[in-house]
């Protein structure tokens, strides 16, 4: 059995080496091999050049290069299309999420209980205390998403999402940016997938530290919740 870890990357020259080192060092369950698919979304800070050197020395790493910046959702579509593993998980390159927890997120997939697993930052795990209004916005968006899709997620926007690859192949993803999160939540619910949540820790960044999501993405998420739950 093989796991594909898809890592969308944009302008993370400082953190990408640390993140990939932690991914390489993270333990996986016995019998599960690892494939890394890195998608550089047209970085301009030296990240792309470093990734090319990194990938050239590693046969288990695939590097996809976007010719222009297209957004996280677009990077994930590229990564999913390149994945060859039985299971696929999303891992950001900004160190907000700990790769050592990948094995825990995978458990419901590996034991056959789940088709899709969402991480959640709100079920009792360690997290960095940051922006209050971000947490309020996340709760509101997750609640609206749940009302329309009739599932009871606690953290729709969490980065960690793991899938059986055959489930991903049944989903036609469209959103180019952070709208991926509500879109995929709506579409796996519509498919009737068995969805599990697993608590994960969170070490969020401030905007001064490079956080990229902003208030405009909140309004985009609202649009996506309505679009993909009501219109399909």
| Structure confidence at residue 128 (pLDDT) | 62
Q: Look up the domain containing 120 and give its range.
A: 2-130+158-177+193-207
**Residue 152 maps to a domain:** no
| Structure confidence at residue 216 (pLDDT) | 76
**What is the DSSP code (8-state) at residue 14?**
T
**Residue 143 maps to a domain:** no
137-153 pLDDT, tens per residue? 888 999 999 999 999 99
pTM of the model: 0.92
**Residue 80 maps to a domain:** yes
**Residue 226 maps to a domain:** no
Question: What is the overall mean pLDDT for the chain?
Answer: 92
- Reply yes or no on whether the pLDDT at 124 is more than 70: no
**Residue 200 maps to a domain:** yes
Region 218-229: mean pLDDT is 91
Q: Strand locations in the chain, DSSP E?
A: 2-9, 33-40, 61-65, 87-90, 116-120, 161-164, 195-199
**Residue 140 maps to a domain:** no
Max CA pair span of the chain: 47
- Cβ atoms < 10 Å from Cβ of 141: 20
**Residue 146 maps to a domain:** no
Q: What are phi and psi of 104, to 5 degrees?
A: -70, -40
Nearest-angstrom CA–CA distance, 41 and 158? 20
Which CATH number goes with the domain that contains 163? 3.90.550.10
201-222 pLDDT, tens per residue? 998 756 566 666 666 777 888 9
Q: How many domains are there within the chain?
A: 1
| Structure confidence at residue 16 (pLDDT) | 96
**Residue 10 maps to a domain:** yes
Long-range CB pairs of 122-127 (<8 Å, 24+ gap) are 122/154, 122/155, 123/154, 123/155, 123/197, 123/199, 124/199, 125/199, 125/200, 125/201, 125/202, 126/201, 126/202, 127/201, 127/202, 127/203, 127/204
29-78 pLDDT, tens per residue? 999 999 999 999 999 999 999 999 999 999 999 999 999 999 999 999 99
Is there a contact between 167 and 89 (Cβ–Cβ < 8 Å)? no
């Amino acid at each position: 059995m093989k796991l594909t870890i898809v890592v969308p990357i944009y302008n993370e020259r400082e953190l990408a080496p640390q993140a990939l080192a932690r991914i390489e060092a993270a333990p996986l369950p016995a019998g599960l091999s690892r494939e890394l698919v890195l998608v550089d979304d047209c970085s301009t800070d030296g990240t792309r050049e470093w990734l090319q050197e990194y990938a050239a020395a590693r046969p288990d790493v695939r590097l996809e290069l976007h010719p222009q910046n297209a957004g996280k959702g677009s990077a994930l579509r590229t990564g999913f299309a390149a994945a060859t593993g039985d299971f696929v998980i999303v891992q950001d390159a900004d160190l907000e999420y700990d790769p050592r927890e990948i094995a825990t997120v995978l458990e419901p997939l590996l034991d056959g209980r789940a088709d899709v697993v969402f991480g959640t930052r709100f079920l009792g795990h360690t997290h960095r205390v940051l922006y209050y209004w971000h947490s309020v916005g996340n709760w509101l968006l997750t609640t609206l998403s749940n009302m329309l899709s009739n599932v009871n997620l606690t953290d729709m926007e969490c980065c960690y999402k793991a899938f059986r690859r055959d489930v991903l192949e049944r989903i036609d993803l469209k959103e180019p940016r952070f709208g991926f999160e509500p879109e995929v939540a709506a579409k796996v619910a519509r498919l009737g997938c068995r969805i599990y949540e697993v608590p994960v820790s969170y070490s969020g960044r401030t905007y001064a530290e490079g956080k990229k999501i902003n208030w405009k993405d909140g309004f985009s998420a609202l649009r996506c919740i309505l679009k993909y739950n009501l219109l399909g």
